[in-house]
Structure 1
Amino acid sequence: MEPKNVLSREREAQRPHLTDAAADIHLEILVPESRSESKKPFSFYMSILSLWLAAIITSWDSTCLAIALPAITSQLHGTTLESFWANISFILGVTIAQPIYVSTSNVLGRKQPLYASFALFAAGSVVFAVAGSMGLLIAGRLVQGLGAGGLDVLEEIILTDITNLKERPRYLAMIASAIALGSISGPFIGAAFSELVDWRWIGWINLPIVGLSFLLAFFFLRLRSIDMTFKAKIRQLDWIGMLLFTIGAPAVALPLSWADTLYPWASWQTLVPLLIGCLVLFAFGVYEKKVKPAEAMMPYSKFANSTSVMCLVTGFIHGLLLYTTLSYVPLFFQAVFLETPLEAAKSILPCCCFTVAFSFIAPMVIEFTRRYRVLLWLGWMATTLFLGLWYLVNQATSWAEVYVFQSILGVGLGIVFTATQVPIQASVSDVNDTGTVVGMLVVFRLFGALVGLSASSTAFNAVFQKSIDSLGALPEEVKILEDASQAISFIPALRELNTTVEVMNDILRAYEEPFQAVWIIMTCFSGVGFLASIFIKEYSLESEDIGRQGLESS
């Protein structure tokens, strides 16, 4: 379906041809106007800075914990399942909250949900920082996730409110650089605090950044209000849709995370909640499509073309790949290469650096070429190929190969991260729908992360248990590993293990195999992502329209 608010190339070709003189006059009229439109008030740049800070804080919080998990789990006497849930609970909170923020911000306006996000994120950071048990730490991460979900999705929605499609790639590159920079610095922050100071500072460090971002938003982000009474706004909200999604999403995620670890796949404890969750999500989909609430959480009508649908599919898969990679590669270096958290953070630097660089470069290439399809295909091909090559990495692999594999994987992940946002925005027919479709893309990306982390947790635990069982009776110094739930908490002890070379090699192979299972799963998903990207169409990027919640005129 062709956007109504932009001219297609065919339609452009049918316009009357201007003479050179007329063209000169036409340009003289347009250039001053375009230049005046490009001038931005001071409040615009302060608003961008607020969004930039929100982006960096949420992205580093989603990656900094993975590398510190072994030390935290060991100190708080947690299990492998609890350690994985410290990460999963954050993503679960984000996933549950995001569609609610998208829907409510369309009705109530952007700022009130944004302020609620700041408050929840700060409160969760405090709970995490003072946690004395894994249960409380997981609760803190969940509350953080509820806040981060709003910050993550609203920063991208607000960016579409205050910029037009023609200029958006350059500002998209700025926000993407913050997200990528946060993803890079996250492992270093986690490693530095857990190894050199105290892991609790992972929570405390959030507070001044959140405070500054909030103050900038409060004083400078002056968005146009929605002309409707508060009671009328409340009636517009999709209450039933929000309830169904809030029940269905965790009901699916929980059994995926504990299958074959806490309970067997065939047990009622796994199958019953999984079936209930699937049924509730199915009911949610039917309700949104058939009833069509005024402000539906899943507005089917706004995804009436193959491009927007395929963008959601690829966004889901990219979220699955990105967050799983950033969680498991640092653990891989600690468990298989016997590195400290700080050394592991340094080892994943090539992947992180190239992800940062190409998440910035991709929208700038689009800004220059006004095209995105070929770039997307290249990103997916690089991601799929080099995820597959990670299966070959072990202790015998040279560091040159490790760095090359990581670097090109980072290129692919970075390109796909930002390039996917352009076609879904270009595909909408009404500029006021742009924020909604961008919000849903973020929701699908984080829902993919939730599914990826849950499924990878299951695969890791199941394969590790089989690998350990195949070794038979273990020596006393590693006997604790007969229970796969202790695999993550035991990683710091691997570096100081006093045993024979033969036993050590067996243990390291037992750790290698579950990571290889995770790489295989991700490679298969990445292949599906590449196939889906083929169906994304090329749209014009020349629209200069601004949505109804743009910045107020100064």
Structure 2
Amino acid sequence: MDIANSASIEMIPRAQDALSSSLEKKPSHGLQESVDVVSSSAEKPWSFYMSILLLGLVGLIVALDSTSLIVALPVIAKDVGGTSLESLWASISFMLVVTVAQPIYSSASDVLGRKNSLYVSMLLFTIGCLVFAVAKSMRVIILGRVLQGLGGGGMDVLQVIILSDITTLRERPLYMGVIAVFNALGNVTGLVAAGVFAELVSWRWLGWVNLPMMGVAFLLTFFFLDLKPLEMELRRMDWLGLILFAIGATSLALPLSWAGSSFSWSTWQTLLPLLIGVAFLSVFAWYERRPLEPVFPYRIFKNTTMTAAILSGAIHGLLTYTVQTYLPLFFQAVFLQTTIQSAISTLPFSAVVVGFSAISGILVNLMRRYRLVLLTGWLLMTTFLGLLCLVKRSTAKAETYTFQAFAGIGVGIILTVTAIPTQASVRHVDDTGIAAGMLVNFHLFGALIGLSIGSNIFNSVFKQKMDSLMDSLTTLPTSIQILQNANEAIGFIPSLRTLELPEPLMNIVLDAFWAPFQVLWIVMTCISGIGLFIALFIKELSLEKDEVGRQGLQQPLP
């Protein structure tokens, strides 16, 4: 009898655990669930909300810096006497270094601690801003951009990792939406601020303006980001893996950035580093099964949802950065707008990206489901990128604004929602930060590939158009002879407004600039269709998990 009672008593907690586990797996859609989420949020300490503000500010600063140079670069190159090659390096150095640095910060923060890694990244970024702001040559500007990239890469990836540490999966969609607003706002203001500073004040303010924001970020980190202490074990660092990845990623990224512009794909300057990069990354992939704390743990990729989410995230990065880069140039070349006018014309795209980055997170938080929202985003982006292919010089502006706005809705939705299945699919809560960091890594690497694709498409199509024009003319007018070199086409776009050519010839030149954009939108639409197809493999998983990571915020004393 005693044994039976004892067994019955022992079974009670097991039954309770089983019931709790089943409830965790079963999504809840009722009003009570929303009340629980709100109640959970209301109990947060003040340090939590200030930490969310810190993470948003960090995201805004990095996004602001990653987009601003695109618009201001022609003015900078003219001011300091930079060559086309130096301008290329000033443009790509930030993205290259960010792409290589992010996985290093992800891995280091697991061993050295998130807060220590964040301090290092913020310090490097601040030094980079100072170097950039006082630079008197393009080489010093490139140095500043490299330092900014070393810091910005860490700030960008640690933003999402720390967010995953201090929030539960149950409440995370809401805060992802909040953080995404800051990121998207940085992308929008970066383009506008660059145009205003470059034309009306000084491009150097693109460096100076970051300093007060970095000061606030340092203070918020010091006083409010009170993370649980972590015992640092340097021996657990995957040093060899980090070296292999850094060499391989750099060797692979460099030729992708200059192929088709500075060097053709068939030259040794492109092929040799490309092959070296592939070789080192192959060795890196083979080696990553061995370390205690690998840079990219194999266990992360053992489910379909995680793999599909990361691949679709890479495609989203490819599309987003390419569209953000070429959309302002499209308005300048096709509609002959100024830098500031083109920044304003892209606001329909940028504004809805900001809005729906937040709305999608709130929507998932209310619905407790994400798959339908995510697929809707991919469908909208694919459809309306396709419609941009129809835009010509004679197309009404309202039509153009509508197409880019609906494409922006898709971009904003995917930006926020892709991170949710990525983190919901991890088996252990301490892997959540790794998964979040990997999504950011692949998103940026996709961006690098996208910019390379965009550059190659634009140069090759423009060259074909100019070759046919030169075949029909004995000589080109002096004012456009520079366009015989397709690499000069992007830099020549601001000069289109001041050209004085016969109307028939002017129309031919403008058509030569319009054609590359049309092909670019077609290619981006096809790639977006691939992203939509991959997203179909993302499964609907439960969001009802309340664990936080081992480096979450310390609870205040009662």
- Worse-matched range after superposition: 127-136 or 162-171: 127-136
Alpha carbons 1:177, 1:360 under 8 Å: kept:
yes
Offset from partner CA, 1:371-407 (integer Å, 9 cap, x none): 1111111111111111122222221111111011111
- Per the TM alignment, residue 157 of structure 1 is displaced from its structure 2 partner at its CA by 0.8
- Per the TM alignment, residue 61 of structure 1 is displaced from its structure 2 partner at its CA by 1.3
| Paired position in structure 2 for 1:368 | 366
Q: Distance in 1 between matches of 2:19 and 2:309?
A: 20
Relative to 1, partners in 2 of residues 1:357 and 1:84: Cα closer, same or farther, differing over 3 Å?
Answer: farther
| Paired position in structure 1 for 2:311 | 313
Relative to 1, partners in 2 of residues 1:5 and 1:83: Cα closer, same or farther, differing over 3 Å?
Answer: farther
| Paired position in structure 1 for 2:497 | 495
Alpha carbons 2:385, 2:524 under 8 Å: kept:
yes
Where 2:288 maps in the other structure, the secondary structure is helix
| Paired position in structure 1 for 2:483 | 481
Relative to 1, partners in 2 of residues 1:482 and 1:430: Cα closer, same or farther, differing over 3 Å?
Answer: same
Q: Distance in 1 between matches of 2:491 and 2:307?
A: 41
Q: How does 1:109-188 map to 2 (within 5 A)?
A: 109-188=113-192
Matched, 1:287 2:287: yes
- Per the TM alignment, residue 274 of structure 1 is displaced from its structure 2 partner at its CA by 0.9
- Worse-matched range after superposition: 303-312 or 497-506: 497-506
| Paired position in structure 1 for 2:333 | 335
Alpha carbons 1:80, 1:487 under 8 Å: kept:
no
Relative to 1, partners in 2 of residues 1:84 and 1:333: Cα closer, same or farther, differing over 3 Å?
Answer: farther
One-letter identity of the residue aligned with 1:322: T
Q: Distance in 1 between matches of 2:296 and 2:71?
A: 35
| Paired position in structure 1 for 2:511 | 509
Q: Distance in 1 between matches of 2:306 and 2:20?
A: 17
Q: Unaligned stretches of 5+ in structure 1?
A: 14-26
Relative to 1, partners in 2 of residues 1:134 and 1:294: Cα closer, same or farther, differing over 3 Å?
Answer: same
- Per the TM alignment, residue 36 of structure 1 is displaced from its structure 2 partner at its CA by 6.8
Q: Distance in 2 between matches of 1:35 and 1:53?
A: 26
- Per the TM alignment, residue 334 of structure 1 is displaced from its structure 2 partner at its CA by 1.5
Alpha carbons 1:92, 1:450 under 8 Å: kept:
yes
- Per the TM alignment, residue 84 of structure 1 is displaced from its structure 2 partner at its CA by 4.4
Offset from partner CA, 1:409-449 (integer Å, 9 cap, x none): 00000000001011111111111111110010011101111
One-letter identity of the residue aligned with 1:386: F
Q: How does 1:225-374 map to 2 (within 5 A)?
A: 225-226=229-230, 228=231, 230=232, 233-289=233-289, 291=290, 293-374=291-372
Q: Distance in 1 between matches of 2:38 and 2:478?
A: 75
Relative to 1, partners in 2 of residues 1:498 and 1:530: Cα closer, same or farther, differing over 3 Å?
Answer: same
Q: Distance in 2 between matches of 1:417 and 1:120?
A: 27
Matched, 1:430 2:434: no
Q: Distance in 2 between matches of 1:53 and 1:199?
A: 22
Relative to 1, partners in 2 of residues 1:280 and 1:287: Cα closer, same or farther, differing over 3 Å?
Answer: same
| Paired position in structure 1 for 2:405 | 407
| Paired position in structure 2 for 1:521 | 523
- Per the TM alignment, residue 75 of structure 1 is displaced from its structure 2 partner at its CA by 3.4
Where 1:495 maps in the other structure, the secondary structure is helix
Q: Distance in 1 between matches of 2:331 and 2:219?
A: 39
Alpha carbons 1:311, 1:420 under 8 Å: kept:
yes
| Paired position in structure 2 for 1:20 | none
Matched, 1:55 2:88: no
Relative to 1, partners in 2 of residues 1:36 and 1:390: Cα closer, same or farther, differing over 3 Å?
Answer: closer
- Worse-matched range after superposition: 4-13 or 416-425: 4-13
One-letter identity of the residue aligned with 1:276: I
One-letter identity of the residue aligned with 1:199: W
- Per the TM alignment, residue 482 of structure 1 is displaced from its structure 2 partner at its CA by 1.3
Would you say how many aligned residue pairs link Structure 1 and Structure 2?
Answer: 529
Q: Distance in 2 between matches of 1:5 and 1:523?
A: 46
Relative to 1, partners in 2 of residues 1:102 and 1:461: Cα closer, same or farther, differing over 3 Å?
Answer: same
| Paired position in structure 2 for 1:542 | 544
Where 1:44 maps in the other structure, the secondary structure is helix
Q: Distance in 2 between matches of 1:456 and 1:280?
A: 26
Matched, 1:39 2:43: yes
Same amino acid, percent of matched pairs: 51
Relative to 1, partners in 2 of residues 1:157 and 1:310: Cα closer, same or farther, differing over 3 Å?
Answer: same
Offset from partner CA, 1:56-85 (integer Å, 9 cap, x none): 111111122222233333434445554444
Alpha carbons 1:355, 1:413 under 8 Å: kept:
yes
Alpha carbons 2:80, 2:138 under 8 Å: kept:
yes
Q: Unaligned stretches of 5+ in structure 2?
A: 1-17
Q: Distance in 1 between matches of 2:449 and 2:84?
A: 18
Relative to 1, partners in 2 of residues 1:412 and 1:7: Cα closer, same or farther, differing over 3 Å?
Answer: farther
| Paired position in structure 1 for 2:445 | 447
Q: TM-score normalized by structure 2? A: 0.91
Where 1:470 maps in the other structure, the secondary structure is helix
Alpha carbons 2:256, 2:448 under 8 Å: kept:
no
One-letter identity of the residue aligned with 2:429: V
- Per the TM alignment, residue 9 of structure 1 is displaced from its structure 2 partner at its CA by 6.8
One-letter identity of the residue aligned with 1:301: R
Match of 1:468 among 466, 469, 475: 466
- Worse-matched range after superposition: 168-177 or 254-263: 254-263
Alpha carbons 2:24, 2:544 under 8 Å: kept:
no
Relative to 1, partners in 2 of residues 1:547 and 1:467: Cα closer, same or farther, differing over 3 Å?
Answer: same
Alpha carbons 1:79, 1:488 under 8 Å: kept:
no
